[in-house]
Amino acid sequence: MALQVVWFKRDLRLHDHRPLVEAALRGPVLPLYVAEPELWQRPDSSARQWSFCCEALQELRQELAGLGQPLVVRVGEVVAVLEAAHRRHGIAALWSHQETGNLWTYGRDRRVAAWARDRGIPWRECTSFGVIRGLKERRGWARAWEVRMGEPLLAAPDALPPLAGVQPRELPAASDLGLAADPCPGRQPGGRRAGLELLDGFLQQRGRGYHHQLSSPLTAFEACSRLSPHLAWGTLSLGEVVQRTRSRRAALAERPATATAGWPRALDAFLSRLHWHCHFIQKLESQPSIEILELHPATRGLRCTDPGRLAAWSHGRTGVPFVDACMRALRASGWINFRMRAMLLSFASHHLWIDWRDSGLHLARQFVDYEPGIHWSQCQMQSGTTGINTIRIYNPIKQGLDHDPEGLFLARWLPELAGVPAVWRHEPWRMDPATQEASGCCIGRDYPAPIVEVAAAAREARERLWGLRRQPGFGAAADAIQARHGSRRSGLPPSGRGGRRRRQRIGDGQLELDLGMLLSPGQETDRRSSATPREALHVPLPEAAESS
């Protein structure tokens, strides 16, 4: 029987895992995870992410051992690991899920594809989300997503025959991968059991107020699903989350409306976020350069990062309380709700005029649920570089007053402001000196003065961005971007007469995503036989990305 290697990447589960199921039908399976030091040393990786991943791997190893063959772990470069396995055991086929990752993983996958092709080994990649590889244009994409999400979920194999002479080996520590210490006391635990508990709790109890509680950091930590890291690392499949949610929605429809108040709208809102999750990842799949290059050419070279401003923003020391509190909460927990993510990016891009790649890398490291497709699309959207989305410059003072009117969130994460009267907490610099002394918070001593004047910085950014949009040729380039990446469900029109105004009003920028990050359900591709769209684009490989 020929050896089937199942390469686990960001799909750390047994349930609904098509590569594992298909491989087990064809011969003995070597379940493989390769901890890649070079990947983990990239500037968008962090120890908090590895800690979550490691916990998921430990649980996966136990589950695979229960089937007969534990997870085999190797540290190193994937091609070298595969070559060693092939020389010792002989590999008949390589199986994995497709990955829409960062440019480094894209380059690595191309090297794996070349290795497999040279050895005559078929590499079978299965989709795990609603992302379509090789997509030419978006017409019909939403219908295809619905079909994929409705596919039957796959049970794990009943058993896997043990492989003689293959040592499983231990998982490396974060320091072994070159990762710096990264305290994150509020990080969510990894593993499928934790993900299922979250899903059950959300669908049965916590989710009733989701649709009107997801925007405030006071309520979002409890009201949001918190499933994003489990989808990002694949301890749950997107298909099972969609189907479980729809089953719950159908069951509630059979009960009296008085007993289900709030639930239908909440679950409908959640399902729409699951759909949009794949919509954003599809953008990176279709155009990998989104990670490093502005979508609209007129916005390239727009910003130059001030290192002092970047450091103050990264550490929650801008002097704008709601921004600082959100950043400190994120640093401590590895998660924050979508509106606050958007506000943090908006403030960095517009008020501080920081390049979105610099702010984006810091946030990527903070997010346990970092999903490149969603993250880099959002970085460009919130910084105004797509050319097709509404320019949204969040007022952080108004956001704070809207979503934390009593300043309770501020008091928790900014202890230096805890003694400040609630009326001044969002703008403590407006207190007179006597009130500052009485509150125990002197601006410039106990808490920094604002790094910028909020209204003036927003006004200057707005003028710059709208000045670009008024340039000749801007609209034509924006229409080409919309044709390639826009959702056909949104009904966005081409520019034409009044099109620019409609494009500002309608579009992705008005989404309220709960799910920060994720992955791809059920169709196979073989990279030996055809080039992927990512290959066909001839985007720079990671080496080029480093110098750009």
pLDDT in tens, 430-469: 999 999 999 999 999 999 999 999 999 999 999 999 999 9
Q: Out of 3.40.50.620, 1.10.10.60, 3.30.1330.40, 3.20.20.100, which CATH number does the structure's domain 3-128+522-547 have?
A: 3.40.50.620
H or E segment and range at residue 126: strand 123-126
Name the DSSP class of 430: G
Would you place residue 307 in the very low, low, confident or very high pLDDT band (cuts 50, 70, 90)?
very high
CATH class given for the domain over 192-284: mainly alpha
With tokens 């190797």, the residue in question is 74
Q: Out of 2.40.110.10, 1.10.579.10, 3.40.50.300, 3.40.50.1980, which CATH number does the structure's domain 290-403+450-510 have?
A: 1.10.579.10
Q: Are strands 72-75 and 29-35 parallel, antiparallel or unpaired?
A: parallel
Would you place residue 487 in the very low, low, confident or very high pLDDT band (cuts 50, 70, 90)?
low
The pLDDT assigned to 70 comes to: 97
Q: Give the mean model confidence (pLDDT) for residues 354-368.
A: 98
**Nearest CA among 379, 375, 411, 413 for reference residue 515:** 375
81-108 in b/e burial notation, b at 16+ Cβ within 10 A? Answer: bbeebbeebebbbbbbbbbbbbbbbbbb
Q: Are 230 and 195 in contact (CB under 8 A)?
A: yes
The pLDDT assigned to 509 comes to: 32
Reported as a single tens digit per residue, the pLDDT across 380-397 is 999 999 988 888 999 999
The pLDDT assigned to 388 comes to: 86
**Nearest CA among 485, 385, 379, 371 for reference residue 102:** 371
Distance of CA 279 to the CA centre of its chain: 12
Say which residue, 258 or 343, is predicted with more confidence. Answer: 343
- The amino acid occupying position 524 is E
Average pLDDT in the chain: 89
> CA–CA separation, 346 vs 458, rounded Å?
10
Q: Are 342 and 394 in contact (CB under 8 A)?
A: yes
Q: 439: which strand partners?
A: none
305 pLDDT higher than 80: yes
Q: Are 207 and 354 in contact (CB under 8 A)?
A: no
List the Cα angle 97/101/104 in 5-degree steps.
115
> CA–CA separation, 10 vs 20, rounded Å?
14
Would you place residue 483 in the very low, low, confident or very high pLDDT band (cuts 50, 70, 90)?
confident
In the chain, domain spans: 3-128+522-547, 192-284, 290-403+450-510, 404-449
List the Cα angle 128/522/124 in 5-degree steps.
85
Q: Are 117 and 110 in contact (CB under 8 A)?
A: no
For residue 29, CA distances in Å to 67, 72, 148 come to: 11, 11, 26
